[in-house]
A and B are shown apart, each in its own frame.
Chain A
Amino acid sequence: MPTTRRQFLNLAGGVTVVGAIPIVTLRPLRATPAMLNTAVRNVVGEAQIRTGKVKLDIPPLVENGNTVPMTVTVASPMTADDHVKSIHVFNEKNPQPNIGNFYLNPASGRAQISTRIRLADTQKVIAIARLSDDTFWQVAADVVVTLAACTEEMN
């Protein structure tokens, strides 16, 4: 059967589609909610996570995800008996769910840390505090990102 023009074009179109797929599928390298959950459980273990005590200051809308200022504050008297042991910050959709772990002690005086982070997409940021009685407290904040970080091409 001679190849008609229509058949040829269908075939050619199919080839380009197949050729394009690997490029597309290689790109989005994202943490999934399951990865976030695993990362959180690696820190928290089986303990229950309660909501409250922690305050996460982060802009709700950022233009550039490459540097997003962030401050975590925990309501704690920071005494030897009642203090924050550590603060853990996670994200939902960066290639990796961890952002940072920060270890404090009663000599800190105030349970507050600030840094600048990268966000690859509009997503949730979660801060979890571990207190001296080994209870965990968390807060989540939604951030809208207009220019993503992390996975862009390098020139």
Chain B
Amino acid sequence: MAALVNVPARAKRGDVIEIRTLTSHIMETGFRHTADGKLVPRDIITGFTCRYNGAEIFRADLFPAIAANPYLSFFTIAKESGKFEFEWIGDNGYSSTASASITVE
């Protein structure tokens, strides 16, 4: 379950930093049919959470209208050195995690 996360390696204390994430997922809407008329069952990522040294800083509920391979970008204030943890959860027990560290001066 490949995920790409982009967090600046270092930042000044108090800086607003952008975090970008991309994960590979089909995001099957559940509204499409095969050529012989069968409904393709829904298979999407429904939730995303980002924690910064354990505290939740961003959360999102996703719906079928999010494009395949969901991309999310958001901001946070660089407070202290540490670790960002990312988690994606979805249909059929899907779960994927990633992490990135930051040095705050």
Contacts and interface: CB of A to CB of B under 8 A. Distances in A.
B68 A67 contact: yes
Contact of B16 (A98, A105, A110, A150): A110
Contacts of B58: 102-104, 108
B77 interface: yes
A118 B32 contact: no
B32 A113 contact: no
A68 interface: yes
A107 B61 contact: no
Interface in B46-89: 52, 55-68, 70-77, 79
Contact of B55 (A67, A104, A107, A112): A107
Contacts of A138: none
B40 interface: yes
B64 A109 contact: no
Nearest to B52: A107
A105 B77 CA distance: 11
B57 A114 contact: no
Interface in A93-132: 94-96, 98-105, 107-110, 112-119
Interface residues of B, number: 33
Contact of B71 (A91, A98, A114): A114
B59 A103 contact: yes
Contacts, number: 110
B31 A150 contact: yes
Main SS of the interface on chain B? strand
B57 A96 contact: no
A100 B57 contact: no
Contacts of A103: 58-60
B35 interface: yes
A107 B76 contact: yes
B66 A118 contact: yes
A66 interface: yes
Q: Which of A66, A91, A107, A155 is most buried by chain B, counting CB atoms within 10 A of its CB?
A: A107
Given A109-B16, A154-B35, A94 B65 contact: yes
A118 B32 CA distance: 13
B78 to A, nearest CB: 9
Interface of A: 29, 66-68, 71, 91, 94-96, 98-105, 107-110, 112-119, 149-155
Interface of B: 16-17, 29, 31-35, 40, 52, 55-68, 70-77, 79
